[in-house]
Amino acid sequence: MDMSLTAAIIVQSSNNITKCRVAFFFLSDRVCSLNDYIIVFLPVKHRDLKMKHTDSTLMEKLTSLCKRRGFIFHSSEIYGGINGFWDYGPYGTALKRAVEQLWWSYMVETRGNVEGLDSTVICHPKVWEASGHLAKFGDMMTDCRECKARHRVDQMENPNECPNCGSDNLTEPREFNLMMKTFVGPVFDEDHAAYLRAETCQPIFVDFHHVRIAARQKLPFGIAQVGKAFRNEINPRNFTFRSREFTQMEMEFFCRDEESMDWYEYWKQERIRYYKEELQFDDEEIRIHDHGPNELAHYAKAALDIEFNFPFGWGELEGVHHRGTWDLSRHQEYSGESMEYFDQESNSKFIPTCIETSVGVDRTMLALLCHAYDEDTAETKKEGKAEDARVVLRFPAKIAPVQAAVLPLAKKLSEPAEKVYCDIRKYFRSEFDLTGSIGKRYRRQDEIGTPFCVTFDFDSLEDNAVTVRDRDSMSQERVSLDRIIDVLGKKING
Ligand code: GAP
């Protein structure tokens, strides 16, 4: 925490309070008054200075930044785009891989009782019959006969009025199945129909015994998978929040029924810890929505959503679900294969109970972008650069798409600076940038969330040291080249 930074909230004290501004000072006095202003000085952390992500213009700013800087753009844009499908560009890909790797490390690699799986997207169609997706996985929808818009009935304020044009000329609500259908083999008929998976967990249930036996696991243990899921959403919206193709990170934890509520509580706490400690979300950015009795599936003892405060409102990031024995029982029933587990401890056979944690990568990334987006003005002045304002993505260093940018101060220095870059990139996601003034290059790196810039200047040739500039505090530190990997490693990985 940088306690030397002080924020002053300046409130016009005459008339009604119409203006409230925040400015930054390096003063030790806490309270003073000045003419018709009351000035209160508060010690703050950088995170406290962050603009609120409930700002109504934030989504526009984010989508534009994401496109401009190559994080996320519309799929097939040159053909007019395809609704609900998004491509990740170079920085988006790096961020996505880092998010997936962080989750994998937290949920699988650092635990002895969770195994990995990488299954196919297309499974035997009976998988989706057994899971219940073919019979009932959908929303009620209605079409407007006037403007031709299609709506999910549960999302309409008034189910008799089109939210698009206000007409009451709507079709009868009808069920719409979200499964994406395809055909396997040369004949396009119902006998060859198959489905793109609607959730990544079903193959985990189907492969339960294969994984258990191969990994020599005993209850309790989990199986995790990261991969694509597809849903023919009626109304994709809010950027990537509701897409038709998205990536899930799911973990199914199998246990004895009598211990299942303890495990449910354990995974709830683990997942909250992950958002607060690993992704560094603030307390007020996330909340838990416990499902009431009317929201619970008939087989579930408990369920909750972890929600994030997006600019468009609270939205589900992750579900933690007590799934009982539903999935394994159904696959046993539909396949005719036993899904029972022989428990040596109790010398009995039973179908294990399952606790699930299920999160979307795309929603996590959207939440991270909202959390990270910031604009500051006053602070940038101290760098004495032409621009006054900067846009900065304050990503945690561990997942930033570029963790260290190497910047030669002048083109002449590019050869020795590139050597430093080649060394650094073996350890961290790095970038080499020599175009534009140093101030412009800092701003460019701030905008993609690079936590550290390593500047190679003329002194570097003499003292074999570089300057490491911190994205958030903009403080600069001289570091000798023989310590640079260690210093960056400590800053990035803690
Ligand atoms: N296996 C349980 C399951 O799939 P879900 O609540 O339907 O549960 C889990 O989905 C997570 O997947 C959600 O919390 C969300 O993060 C993500 N997700 C679901 N539908 C999505 C969509 N259309 N677009 C983006 N992410 C989605």
Per-residue pLDDT reduced to its tens digit, 314-369: 999 999 999 999 999 999 999 999 999 999 999 999 999 999 999 999 999 999 99
Q: Radius of gyration over alpha carbons of the chain, in Å? A: 27
Q: How many helices (H) and strands (E) does the chain have?
A: 12, 27
Q: Angle at which helices 414-424 and 484-493 pack, to 10 degrees?
A: 50
Structure token pair of residue 285 = 């950015």
| Residue whose CA is at the smallest distance from ligand 1 atom 21 | 242
Nearest atom, ligand 1, residue 198 CA = 4
| CA 91 to ligand 1 centroid distance, Å | 23
Contacts of 445 (CB under 8 A, 6+ apart): 402, 405, 407, 431, 433, 453, 471
Between vectors from CA 280 to CA 28 and to CA 275, what angle results, nearest 5°? 150
Where does the pLDDT of residue 54 fall: very low under 50, low under 70, confident under 90, or very high at 90 and above?
A: low
Is-contact 260 220, C-beta < 8 A? Answer: no
361: buried, middle or exposed (CB in 10 Å: 19+, 13-18, 0-12)?
Answer: buried
Which of 363, 365, 366 most suits a substitution to test ligand 1, by most atoms within 8 Å of the C-beta? 363
% of the chain with per-residue pLDDT over 90: 79
> Hunting for tokens 């997706």 — which residue is that?
133
pLDDT, position 174: 84
- Rounded to two decimals, the pTM is 0.86
User: Which residues' Cβ are closer than 6 Å to ligand 1?
Assistant: 199, 201, 231, 233, 242-243, 246, 248, 250, 316-319, 356, 358-360, 362-363
Strand-pair partners of 39: 10, 32
- Report whether pLDDT(17) > 90: no
Task: Find the mean pLDDT for residues 49-64.
Answer: 76
Lowest mean pLDDT: which of 147-161, 415-429, 438-452? 147-161
pLDDT, position 167: 93
> Hunting for tokens 């209160």 — which residue is that?
40
* CA distances (Å), origin 165, targets 161, 281, 371, 383: 8, 38, 34, 51
Nearest to 118 by CA among 255, 245, 249: 249
Q: Which helix (DSSP H) or strand (DSSP E) does residue 485 occupy?
A: helix 484-493
Which of 128, 196, 199 most suits a substitution to test ligand 1, by most atoms within 8 Å of the C-beta? 199
- Report whether pLDDT(494) > 70: yes
| CA 248 to ligand 1 centroid distance, Å | 7
